[in-house]
Amino acid sequence: MTDVHKQVDALAGNVPAKFGLSADQKFDLVPGNMKNAMGAIGSKKDVYRVDLRKTIVKEGLNPRIKDERYWEGIRTLKESIKLHGWYPDKPLAGYIANIGGQDVCVIVEGGRRRDAGLMLMAEMDKEMADLYKVPVAPKGAGTSELELTYGLAQGNNNEQFRPYELAVLVKRLETVYMQEDAQILKGLVGLVSASYLPKLKMVAGAPEEIAELVISEEMSVTEAFNLMVKHGDKAVQVLQKAKAAAAAAGSKKVLGKHMPGRKLENLLKKESRSLFDAAAMVKADPGFAQLSEETRAVLGDLMRELEAKEKEFEANEAKVGDDDALEGEFTRADNETPLLAQQTA
């Protein structure tokens, strides 16, 4: 972990807790008896039809942020279920756990449909609700919490995780389950790229002011990451200026171009060739020897560094050659949107 990462983590506190989440929480689920649990709440088949009201969820296991945006989606999903019925080929996934001496079905995939189903059942009369059963496929008895966590990411993509929700899940894999980057990338293949992973991990520990903008998607994970890496413990102060600049420009999102000093940086990049040539002219001028030793040393060091970089770039360009054809293969590698959209929610 770099000093910048430590600095950001120290600032963060436990921001996810505000939303009922934790990147550091382990749930200690104890396997229970499948026949006892499922037989008590539904019919006995490979895919059980059960009373949703008798299933449970472990709070915080699913990193969905249940704000108004979430419930708006649930109301829409409830109307879809009401109109079309519950698709039998889209069962919820349940983990049979022994909690307090009782075998219970914990819904681990399909939390949105569970909430929508419960909302629909609340509109029914008691007799209808008692008859209403939905399909649940139980996870194997040997399923570990680690497998459940990966399953959450891969099995909840009809309504894709928001970037911050995915960040909490990734951080949990790292801190609770001690997963290395290579393991996380393999387990979340198609969802997280190698370049996106460190950004998600840092944003999971972002200060509240930054986290809230990422949650509302007014700021991308990449912009939040760049902000924290560049400005460290001054990131929130810089963000306030960027928000003001975005508002003044009529933008609903805080973008890189709104960051203080970005216009000057862009100008310097644009004029870098001219500045390099100007510095070379000064050094070649006969009057250069009349400058103070300190000034000549500064300009000399700058020119040596720039010349070394120029040679390095030229060497790299010559080496790349036909490999340029590969560019574009991974144009979505740093995209905020996961690459696969599986047909479960």
In tens, the pLDDT along 145-166 reads 999 999 888 886 678 899 999 9
Q: What is the pLDDT of residue 33?
A: 57
Report the relative pairing of strands 102-109 and 48-50 from DSSP bridges: unpaired
CA end-to-end distance (rounded Å), the chain: 34
In the chain, pLDDT over 90 holds for what percent of residues?
46
Do 92 and 230 have their domain in common?
no
Q: Answer with the residue of higher pLDDT: 154 or 109.
A: 109
Asked, for residue 103, whether it belongs to a domain, the answer is: yes
Statement: residue 37 has pLDDT above 70:
no
Q: What is the pLDDT of residue 216?
A: 92
Do 229 and 163 have their domain in common?
yes
Q: What is the pLDDT of residue 200?
A: 96
Q: Are 88 and 20 in contact (CB under 8 A)?
A: no
Go through 239-253 and write b for each residue having 16 or more CB atoms within 10 A of its CB, e for each that does not: beebbebbeeeeeee
Do 227 and 161 have their domain in common?
yes
d(CA 50, CA 55): 8
Asked, for residue 333, whether it belongs to a domain, the answer is: no
What's the pTM? 0.65
d(CA 50, CA 134): 5
Statement: residue 331 has pLDDT above 70:
no
Q: What is the CATH number of the domain that holds 61?
A: 3.90.1530.10
DSSP per-residue codes, 270-336? HTHHHHHHHHHHHHHSGGGGGS-HHHHHHHHHHHHHHHHHHHHHHHHHHHHGGGGGGTTTTTTTT-S
Instruction: Write out pLDDT tens, residues 240-297.
Output: 999 998 998 899 998 878 787 665 455 445 656 666 677 777 777 777 778 788 887 8
Q: What is the pLDDT of residue 327?
A: 31
Instruction: Write out pLDDT tens, residues 44-99.
Output: 566 889 999 999 999 888 999 999 999 999 999 999 999 999 988 889 999 999 98
Distances (CA, A) of 316 to 195, 307, 319: 21, 14, 5
In total, how many domains does the chain have?
A: 3
Domain that holds residue 298: 281-318
Of 17-31, 154-168, 302-316, which one has max mean pLDDT?
154-168
**Partners of residue 110 on adjacent β-strands:** none
